[in-house]
Every structure is written in C-alpha cells, then in structure tokens.
Structure 1
Amino acid sequence: MTQAEAKKIARERMKGYCRVCPVCNGKACAGEVPGMGGVGSGAAFTANVEALARIRLNMRAIHDRKTADTTAVLLGTSYAHPIQCAPMTGVAYNMGGAMSEEEFELALAKGSSAAGTLVWTGDGADPAMFEAGLSAIKAVNGQGIAIIKPRAQDEILARMARAEEAGVVAVGVDIDGAGLVTMALKNQPVGPKSFSELKELVAATSLPFIVKGIMTPDQALLAAEAGAAAIVVSNHGGRVLDHTPGAAEVLQAVSRQVRGRLTVFADGGVRHGADVLKLLCLGADGVLVGRPMAVAAMGGGEEGVAGLFKAMQGELVQSMLLTGVGSLKQAGPDILFT
C-alpha cells in the first residue's frame, strides 16, 4: 500500500474529524478540539509547521560520503533511525472511531516495531485507552514507552506500576496535557506538577522517566534537576495553549540548557525526513511524529505506519547525503542556513 492510498482511505474513515489535507498545517481544522485541530485559533498547531518550514538546509554535495547512517542511540538503545511514534489516544472522539482504540494502538505498535523503532502510547479520559496502549506494547515485546496524563500523584503512580508490569522501555508524564479540553469534558482532572511532585514520580520507578511538554530552558533545567532521563520539547501539538511558539523555535535554546545531561526529543509539525534533520541540527536526539502516523494507521493499519516510517527514513537519508551529513552525530547548526 502506498502512502497516497493510505491517505485516501483515511480521508473517508476520518471524515468530520480530519480532512487529511494535502498540507497538514492545522488551518482547516483550527479550534476543532476534540478532533485533530489545535485549540482556540489553532495558531499553536500552525506555528509548529511554519517554524519548521522557515528553517532552510545548506546543500553541500562535494564530499566523499556515499551513504548516510541513520542509526540513533536513544536512552541507551540503538534504533534504525531517530524517528518514533508520538503518543496518541481518543480514536472515538478525535478521529471518528472507524477503528477501535485497541486496533489503532496495535497498528502503531506493530508498524513502529517493523520499522525498527519505538511506539509511544498515551493516556486518556477512558482508562481503557491507557490499557490499550500497554496491550499494544506487550504485543511488540515491550518495545514502547508509556506516557501518562498529569493526574493526581496516586493515579500516576498506579499507572506507572501497570506500565512496569507491561515491560515498557520507559515511562513519563506529558505535563503539557495539563490543559487538555477533552480531559476536562470527561471529568478527568489534570494539572501542572510541582518540582517536588516531579521528583517523587522520578524516584518511584527504576525505568527512565520522561517529561513531555517542555518549551523553555528553565523548565528543561527543572526536569533535569528532578532526575528525568529525557524531555520532549513539545506544545502538545498545539492542543492545549493557543499562541505558543513552534517547538522548532525554542528547541535550540532548550537543548543548550540540558544537552549532555539527558536525552532530548522534539515533536510538532514533522512531516518529512528533512524536518527530522532540522530538529536534529537544532539539538534533538530523537523526533516524534504524531498526526501523520494517525492518518497512516487509520488508512493503512500496521502496513501504513511501517510504510510512513520507511518513507521518512528514506527522506532523512537523502537530506543527509545532500547536506554532507554521514551520521546523526554530524547533524549540527552549520547544516542550517541562517
């Protein structure tokens, strides 16, 4: 199945929730939350895409590199490439419900595994959503990361224990989910976490702990001081706070603050392999892809997800070769046109 075929099927299956636009920039679905859009004016979703689009690559084709190695070491493990599947839930109220939550998460997990990378699973208003993600991770021998909403401490700790039992690679909290409209509508309280609360969560597990939703250097430093193993520079896809900058706009400053102390992931607006290279050059170690993976899963299942990973990895290789980058370690600011 081609990506075009998967998108065509997804467009029908997600009708009324996602238009599967030729350019996924958040403009047609602005304010559609629940749904696939960005909260309020949709400016934060659009900012992610536009921030990446403004970044240019320096083309250098006079060099002796004939191949490009996309191997990435993340949280101590080597993967085929630095691209991973972002955590997503709420198939029924965000995507139209043409698939069950279990089918959706399994497609993401198996497609990610087939592509030599990890799936990240999420948490939602219905407890079954978190469990569907854990079941999917179990199906791929634990090759996944479980992310939990910023609920009350005891609720998070209970879910962390369930994730550990499932054999996940790492656990974490998407603190950027503190303002999710969908959680509020379903009477599932979430909110910001204090530094002491964050430290408590980190200390409660032997697994690497990830803080997702970092958008400023000072918050990155707090995550590092709390003992986190990784952060994700992310504004939750523009779904929680209107008018934030795009993740690519803040990534370099955030990464500089904590680089060498923890692993830095980034997401938001990634559509092509060239976008992946841009984020790596700005200081990310790994990159998460959300909405395009949802479309691939809805339109092509496991095959669609694996196919999208393969296509993006191929684009990454092409971008590396044409910028003189032989391995991911060579990706730096000098590759970017300023």
Structure 2
Amino acid sequence: MDAITNVCEYESLAKEKLTKMVYDYFASGAEDQWTLAENRNAFSRILFRPRILIDVSKIDITTSVLGFNISMPIMIAPTAMQKMAHPQGEYATARAASAAGTIMTLSSWSTSSVEEVASTGPGIRFFQLYVYKDRNVVTQLVKRAERAGFKAIALTVDTPRLGRRESDIKNRFVLPSYLTLKNFQGLDLGKMDKSNDSGLASYVAGQIDRALSWKDVKWLQTITSLPILVKGVLTAEDARLAVQAGVAGIIVSNHGARQLDYVPATISALEEVVKAAQGRIPVFLDGGVRRGTDVFKALALGASGIFIGRPVVFSLAVDGEAGVKKVLQMLRDEFELTMALSGCRSLKEITRNHIVTDWDAPHSLPAPRL
C-alpha cells in the first residue's frame, strides 16, 4: 500500500479484488455515463490564480459544519452496502472518519445498522435518508438514528425512481445473499429479490415514495429536531425553495452521476446554487472529488465543504479501515499543499479570485504604457 500516491489508484486495485457485479455497482453511472465522466472533467477545466509571497508557514484547515468542529472540510458521503467492498464495511469507514476528525454519513441502505455504527465509538455522524412509502418505517428509522447519536439527516431528494444503470441491469445486480440492508432487517425490508434486471431498481420501485415533495420536508421537520440537509440540489430554483423550507443546508449532488445522465457536473452547478442560497444556509458538494485541488476549487466557488463517496468504497475494498484513513490523509495533505501554493492560510482566505473557470468573462488587463 506504500506505493499508492493518489486517491485514483485505489479504483484499479479495487477492480482486481471485487467481483464484476460489485465493482460495476460501485463504479458505474446512468445510461451513457456522460455525467460520470463530466463530474471529473469539469474540475480539470478550472484553473488556479495563485498568489505569491505570502507567509504560509502556518496553515489552518479546520472548520465547523452545522456547529460541529471538524479537522478539515473533507467528509464522507453516504455509500450503500459497504460490506460488499470489505467484511468490516461501515464499521471500518466509521472508525477511519473518527480517527481523521471528520464526519461520516451513513447510508439508509447500509449493511451495518445505525446502532452498530454507533457502537464503533465516538464520532460525528450524519444519517442519509430515503423516504419509504410507509411513513412509519421512516419515523422509526429517524428516531433510531437520533437515539444512536447521529447529528443530522441528509435527505436524498433526487431518487423518486432509480436511474437507469445499465451495468446493474446486465449483471442482474442483487445484494449478496449473506448480507442484508441492516437498518430494515426487522421490518421485512432488508432483503433484495432477484430480478430480470436490477434487483435494486425493483426494490426502489416497490418501496421508495415517488410522491415525495417539499411538504414531506416539512413533515420530516415535525418528527425530528435534527438539522436536515437536502441532498440532490442542482439549480438555483430548488436552492431558493430549500431555503424557504427552512432546511439546515444543501448538498449539491447528482447522486454520483447515477440518476439522470446529462445533468451538469456538481462543480459546474455549485456556484449557481451558492448564489441562490445567499449565505443563509451552507452549501456542500459531492461528486468527482479525487484531489485536494478539487476541494480547493469547490471552496473557491462557495462550498462550505465536500463529501467523498467512491474513493471511500474503493479504498475500503483494497485495504479496509487503513485504506479509508489513507484516502482521507492524502486528500488532506494535497488540500493543505494547494492552499500553501495558492497563498491561503485559512479557509476564509480562499476566494473566487483564486480560480478562473470556463464560464468567467476574460480578465481585462490594463493597457500597457508606452
């Protein structure tokens, strides 16, 4: 593992270790996978405008999210069924996040329950929520997350139906028989039936509420005192509605490019959402982050922090808890170096002027003197 020098190297190693069905489930996107590639490519089109001759001997990358102090603006996104990647699954990820002093978000569709993850020890944890047709299931789940010490709910709002993931259809993806969706085990909802296409798509069609709307956000606020983040916003219009609904924050997300193909990369949609939020609530980003430079670019465009998903499951597959720890450390080190080389000593010094994007007007230079 000493030979691994960047986050992307874990993916090819994970591909060697995982079955085709499991690797494809974690790696693939929807339909033509244009957005999957664009989530990465869009970062590469944003360039730096570094400032020089600034004393960067001390750099502070700590921040706070919803009032919780964390070591860096890099957090863990919810990714489902992590025991498909490694026997320790969400346990290992929870311990790695805690050791790194950052936040882990647990998926509704985790292969370890909220109680099991809480049993790994202290840590700041958020719970990602899918809204099931049976609201009693949702209420039970939210109450369990509260009791287990989870600090916020990340409500996924971009999945009234599952996106068309052709790899899963070809592979007839199904949760391996030795695993269950642990949070639903006692509710007869923990297993996934085999299907002629994707077992997950069939499961979602049967259980997830397609009628989910803004009034359900209001309903959720009546059953929990936890702050609610809305995950899956890509437009200014929805950002304004989120602010009006009184949510605690927004996660700009296209579900890892797994839902609607040909939506913009999250980094391309970020600034529009940030401007619409007008500083009233924090805006976060997930999707495509593989380098510390990506983290800096997101913060320069107004994000309060970022979440990583695939790098976690791939590093988990390769080296368990140690792999996830190493991914978090590499991103942290790269981000700190990017700050130093850009002339920024704290997160508040990272500004829009530190980057140039392909949608910016050209910088006008003063006319040279004769």
For the superposition of Structure 1 and Structure 2, which TM-score range results when normalised by the shorter chain?
A: 0.7 to 0.9
Matched, 1:256 2:275: yes
CA shift, 1:131, in A, is 4.8
> What SS does structure 1 have at the residue aligned with 2:28?
coil
Change (3 A) 1:86 1:59: same
Which whole-Å CA distance do the structure 2 matches of 1:291 and 1:185 have between them?
23
CA shift, 1:301, in A, is 1.1
Change (3 A) 1:45 1:9: closer
* Structure 1 gap segments, 5+ residues each: 20-31
Residue of structure 2 in register with 1:162 after alignment: 144
> Residue type matched to 1:165 in 2?
R
Q: Is the 8 A contact 1:202 1:226 kept in 2?
A: no
Residue of structure 2 in register with 1:214 after alignment: 233
Q: Deviations over 1:73-109 (max 9, x none)?
A: 11111111000011011347xxxx3534xx2111111
Change (3 A) 1:87 1:52: same
CA shift, 1:55, in A, is 0.8
Which whole-Å CA distance do the structure 1 matches of 2:201 and 2:35 have between them?
20
Matched, 1:275 2:266: no
Match of 2:67 among 51, 68, 76: 76
> What SS does structure 2 have at the residue aligned with 1:139?
coil
Change (3 A) 1:85 1:194: same
Which whole-Å CA distance do the structure 1 matches of 2:91 and 2:3 have between them?
19
Match of 2:16 among 8, 12, 20: 12
Matched, 1:121 2:106: yes
Residue of structure 1 in register with 2:218 after alignment: 199
Matched, 1:184 2:205: no
Equivalent residues in 2 for 1:93-108, closer than 5 Å: 97=84, 99-100=86-87, 103-108=88-93
Which whole-Å CA distance do the structure 2 matches of 1:84 and 1:157 have between them?
26
C-alpha root-mean-square deviation of aligned residues, in Å?
Answer: 2.1
> What SS does structure 2 have at the residue aligned with 1:4?
coil
TM-score where L is the length of structure 2:
0.80
Matched, 1:147 2:164: no
Q: Is the 8 A contact 1:120 1:145 kept in 2?
A: yes
Q: Is the 8 A contact 1:235 1:246 kept in 2?
A: yes
Q: Is the 8 A contact 1:38 1:45 kept in 2?
A: yes
> What SS does structure 1 have at the residue aligned with 2:333?
helix
> What SS does structure 2 have at the residue aligned with 1:145?
strand
CA shift, 1:3, in A, is 6.6
> What SS does structure 1 have at the residue aligned with 2:4?
helix
Q: Is the 8 A contact 2:98 2:122 kept in 1?
A: no
> What SS does structure 2 have at the residue aligned with 1:78?
strand
Residue of structure 1 in register with 2:113 after alignment: 132
Larger mean CA deviation between 7-16 and 46-55 belongs to 7-16
CA shift, 1:205, in A, is 1.0
Matched, 1:311 2:293: no
Which whole-Å CA distance do the structure 2 matches of 1:99 and 1:69 have between them?
34
Q: Is the 8 A contact 2:80 2:107 kept in 1?
A: yes
CA shift, 1:59, in A, is 2.2
> Residue type matched to 1:151 in 2?
Y
Q: Is the 8 A contact 1:264 1:285 kept in 2?
A: yes
Residue of structure 2 in register with 1:62 after alignment: 53
Q: Deviations over 1:120-175 (max 9, x none)?
A: 11123xxxx36535422342325211001132343322211111111101113111
Change (3 A) 1:217 1:227: same
Change (3 A) 1:17 1:72: farther
Q: Is the 8 A contact 2:271 2:301 kept in 1?
A: yes
Residue of structure 1 in register with 2:363 after alignment: none
Change (3 A) 1:227 1:323: same
Residue of structure 2 in register with 1:48 after alignment: 39
Q: Deviations over 1:276-324 (max 9, x none)?
A: 0000111110100010111111111111111111111110011001111
Larger mean CA deviation between 199-208 and 114-123 belongs to 199-208
**Total equivalences in the alignment:** 315
